Amino acid sequence: MAKRTEKRKYHGAPTALVIGGGIAGMQASLDIADKGFRVILVESEPTIGGHMAQLDKTFPTLDCSSCILTPKMVEVGNHPNIELLTYSEVIDIQEKAGGFRTTIRKKPRYIDVKKCNACNLCAEACVQRERIPNEFDMGIGKRSAAYIPFPQAVPQKYVIDPNHCLMLTRGKCGKEPKCQKACGANAIDFTQQEETITVRVGAIVVATGYDQFDSELKPEFGYGRYENVLSGIEFERLCSASGPTQGKIQINGKEPKRVVFVQCVGSRDKTVGNEYCSRVCCMYTAKQAHLVRERIPDAKITVCYMDIRAFGKGYEEFYERVQRENIHFRRGNPSEIYERGLSLVVRGEDTLLGEPYEEEADLVVLATGLVPRKGAGNIGKLLGLSQTPDGFFQEARTEETIATSRAGIFLAGCCQGPKDIPDTVAQASGAASLACVQLAKGRS
């Protein structure tokens, strides 16, 4: 199939572009679309959802994350005013006559989405079945080369991984690709090519989110060396009922009885160049410690912290509740984690008692901070946005966190700086309102 280039014009309704389909981008898209404007939502992954889809529960209410998120994802997928372009990226933006001419590259899924009915037969038949680390489960679970990132993904369409599918990497998979044979809907199409779409939009909301700090940059904590030292999001997947252990907190099939949480990994740490506070780690650690208490009632749980920042509505109350659950908060972050026999040893100095400590652990969870999304610099260049010294996008002024220095371009969520879900949603609704003002002025 030849490479397709398409130019689209939406007559009648001015259109906004939203870049990033996490909770921020979804909220902004729904708010703009509900006002009667059109939205093109571009998401680089095969599904929308972002990091919130990976969480088990949300602090401080302990609501089930996917129970809140899934209906919103479905609403985005079905909204008549939203065109969802997943597995896509913006490759060019030009300011033109009061609006922007945007070019979007749509990667081939190698699946005809009109035919795919998400029956899973391709994944079951794939010769790489359950062999490839599943990114959504942070590599703890495995997937096939033909896959759907998670069961509630939107769109409910499979994708073939071009880096692992034998047909795409070697040009051959046995006599005939087993997935193609198994697919009753005849949806697999190895001839698909990337497409380029050009559209004019009147406003842009940037909602590209964050990445988790790479804990290997703190080698003293043994992340990547010890299998029982996990990052914050890895632990979320371990707790999740839809995760690789169906929510059982287990390492190699065994329940850890001594669990230590380490705060501020990659935040407020000049040694790795991150001076800022990631704003969510104190609370997500309190939440995760509570989940351990709930699921392993006799576990010894310790949280090693610098100081606790519980600033949001209901946060201090939640932190106090967790403290009453027989969870030991020890002031003083560890200096090192090492192995002794079958246990890990977390070593540090208790700054309240003024003495060194050693905590033995079967599992250590690092409260990994939030860092700017890889590739944020490229999006910044395309849009003409600058970044603050920490790498997050620069807002217009410190008191104006949604507007940027460029008229018609707005920020939503963690791309502007670390924040929790309530603040993300509030900022996204603000960005949507400002985008609607631009669209109502007749920009298109």
Ligand X SMILES: Cc1cc2nc3c(=O)[nH]c(=O)nc-3n(C[C@H](O)[C@H](O)[C@H](O)COP(=O)(O)OP(=O)(O)OC[C@H]3O[C@@H](n4cnc5c(N)ncnc54)[C@H](O)[C@@H]3O)c2cc1C
CB of 51 to ligand X, least distance (A): 3
- Bridge partner list, 411: 206
Residues 296-315 interacting with ligand X (rule: CB under 6 A):
none
Q: Which is nearer to ligand X, 210 or 261 (CB)?
A: 210
Contact, 93 vs 198, CB < 8 A?
Answer: no
* 417 backbone φψ class: left, alpha, beta (φ>0; ψ -120 to 50): left
In sequence order, the β-bridge partners of residue 259 are: 301, 363
Residue in the block written with tokens 């609006």: 99
Nearer to ligand X, 50 or 334 (CB): 50
Does position 285 bind ligand X by CB under 6 A?
A: no
**Only segment of 139-147, 346-354, 412-420, 432-440 that touches ligand X (CB under 6 A):** 412-420
Q: Write the burial class of residue 288 (CB in 10 Å: 0-12 exposed, 13-18 middle, 19+ buried).
A: buried
CB closer to ligand X, 25 vs 408: 25
Residue placing its CB nearer to ligand X in the complex, 29 or 128:
29
20 versus 177: smaller Cβ distance to ligand X = 20
String marking each residue 229-258 x if it binds ligand X according to CB under 6 A: ---xx--x----------------------
Instruction: Give the DSSP H/E element, type plus range, for residue 200.
Output: strand 195-201
Write out the two tokens for 121. 């037969």
Site string for ligand X, 69-98 (x = CB under 6 A): --------------------x---------
How are beta strands 57-58 and 63-64 bridged, if at all? antiparallel
Two tokens at 166?
């034998």
Query: In residues, how long is the chain?
Result: 444
Q: Which of residues 14-33 bind ligand X (CB under 6 A)?
A: 19-25
**Contact status, residue 430 vs residue 399, Cβ threshold 8 Å:** no
Q: Which contiguous run of DSSP H or E holds residue 364?
A: strand 363-368
**Rounded Cα distance, 23 and 110, in Å:** 27
- Judged by DSSP in three states, 400 sits in strand
Residues 6+ apart with CB under 8 A from 392: 372, 376, 414, 415, 416, 417, 418
Work out the angle at residue 289's Cα, subtended by the Cα atoms of residues 284 and 294, and round it to the nearest 5 degrees: 120
Q: Which of 167, 188, 262, 280 binds ligand X (CB under 6 A)?
A: 280
Whether omega before 297 lies within 30 degrees of 0, making that bond cis, reads no
Query: What is the x/- site pattern for ligand X, positions 188-227, by CB under 6 A?
Result: -------------------xxxx-x---------------
Smallest distance, Å, CB 183 to ligand X?
27
- Cβ proximity to ligand X: between 231 and 444 the closer is 231
Residues 359-388, interacting with ligand X (CB under 6 A): 373, 375, 379
* Contact window for ligand X (CB under 6 A) among 46-54, 123-131, 156-164, 168-176: 46-54
Least distance in angstroms from the C-beta of 33 to ligand X: 17
Number of residues that bind ligand X (CB under 6 A): 38
45 touching ligand X, by CB under 6 A: yes
Q: Residue 429, interface with ligand X (CB under 6 A)?
A: no
Residue 33 or 280 with smaller CB distance to ligand X: 280
Interface residues with ligand X (CB under 6 A) are 19-25, 42-45, 50-52, 55, 58-59, 89, 207-210, 212, 232-233, 236, 280, 284, 287, 373, 375, 379, 413-414, 419-421, 424
